[in-house]
Amino acid sequence: MTIRKLLLPLTGTAAGEAALSTALMIANIWNAHVTALHVRVDSRDVAPLAGEGLSGAMIEEMMSATEKESTDRAHAVHNMFDTFVAAHNVVLGPGHFKSETATASFATITGREEDLVAQQARLADLTVVPHPEAGEDVSSSDALHAVLFDSGRPVLIAPQKTPKTIGTRVCLAWNGTAESASAVLAALPWMQRAEAVRILTSDEYHRRGPQAADLLAYLALHGITADVVTFRGIDRDVGAGMLKATHDFGADLLAMGAYSHSRLRQLILGGVTRHVLEKSDLPVMMNR
């Protein structure tokens, strides 16, 4: 098992550079290819507003403004990509299965971001998503939720600042669910090369399913030695307790299942996934 292709959806430059840097760190580890993808807004999407009492001239003006804003954003993102890869001597190209170095390419398509990103992610080993920007509600991160729910592939949320290392000390959050089992599968190549691996479990977090001891035996069959730590929530917040446990271990990668409950329930009530998405300062790999 290895990582050969990464997808990096870029919608802006504020958090995009840290995500690009993180994606290229991963690509350098695995000699993988990074496809940076910018989805432009289709100005025709404002046309349905014509039925809301707006005149044809007003709709045309809105479409023109949308097109200009979309073009400006696309240029800014592409310039950021070009500047970064030039400064870091990144090899540009389509990549190759015998490649002995990381490669990168940039693509722009037009349409609905959540649909197109999820579709493209289905043929990527890992999708790296920029951290939700300051002040942005995590529930509005369309690309993140699209990959989690509609791609069938793991997603890694980049921290706001580029990490110094990634994947040398791995924490795996385990609660016995199908989602956490998917996280184990995605994390196997990372754990096999890591210096240390720790399983995080909690009575407040665990659901019906195999226990941490069962996971230890499973990982041993893959040549992975790990230890187990049982953590507690902080002020009844399981997510805060989990992040503290990762910091205590000095982890530079956390793998976990996402949304053990329904997405709607999580967004209304909060939950472990939401807390980790909002508060984590290390790379977090999530699976559904």
Average pLDDT, stretch 153-162? 92
What pLDDT is recorded for position 198?
Answer: 98
pLDDT higher than 80, residue 137: no
Question: In the chain, what are the domains?
Answer: 5-157 (3.40.50.620), 169-287 (3.40.50.620)
Token code pair at residue 57: 């001239």
At residue 81, the pLDDT reads 94
Q: What is the pLDDT of residues 239-250, one digit of tens each?
A: 899 999 999 999
Q: What are phi and psi of 146, to 5 degrees?
A: -65, -45
Mean pLDDT lowest among 39-48, 147-156, 234-243, 251-260: 39-48
Helices (H), 94-200: 113-121, 142-150, 178-193
pLDDT of residue 47: 58
Return mean pLDDT, the chain: 85
What is the reported pLDDT for 147?
84
Phi first, then psi: what are they for 181, rounded to 5°? -65, -40
DSSP-assigned letters across all residues of 181-234: HHHHHHHHHHHHH-SEEEEEE-TTT--SS--HHHHHHHHHHTT---EEEE---B
CB 98 within 8 A of CB 110: no
Burial 208-217 (b: 16+ CB within 10 A, else e): eebebeebbe
Burial (CB count <10 Å: 0-12, 13-18, 19+), residue 192: middle
Residue 224 has pLDDT above 90, yes or no: yes
Residue-wise pLDDT tens digits, 252-283: 999 998 865 555 444 433 477 778 888 889 99
Distance from C-alpha of 88 to C-alpha of 17, rounded to nearest angstrom: 12
Please give the residue that has the higher pLDDT: either 34 or 66.
34
CA distances from 233 to 84, 205, 240, 241 (A): 40, 9, 6, 4
Residue 96 has pLDDT above 50, yes or no: yes
Q: Can you give the pTM of this predicted structure?
A: 0.87
pLDDT band, residue 52 (cuts 50/70/90): low
| Residue 167 φ/ψ, nearest 5 degrees | 85, 10
The answer to whether 161 touches 281, Cβ cutoff 8 Å, is yes
Q: In what order do the strands lie in the sheet with 196-201?
A: 91-92, 103-110, 33-40, 5-9, 126-129, 155-157, 284-287, 253-257, 169-173, 196-201, 227-230
State the CB neighbour count (10 A cutoff) for residue 268. Answer: 11
**Per-residue pLDDT at 109:** 92
Better-predicted residue by pLDDT, 194 or 151: 194
Instruction: Provide the pLDDT for residue 207.
Output: 80
Q: Contact 153/124 with Cβ under 8 angstroms?
A: yes
- To which H or E segment does residue 39 belong? strand 33-40
Tell me which residue of 222, 147, 136, 210 sits closest to 185, measured CA to CA.
Answer: 222
pLDDT band at 212 (very low <50, low <70, confident <90, very high): very high
Nearest partner of 215 among 183, 260, 174, judged by Cα: 174
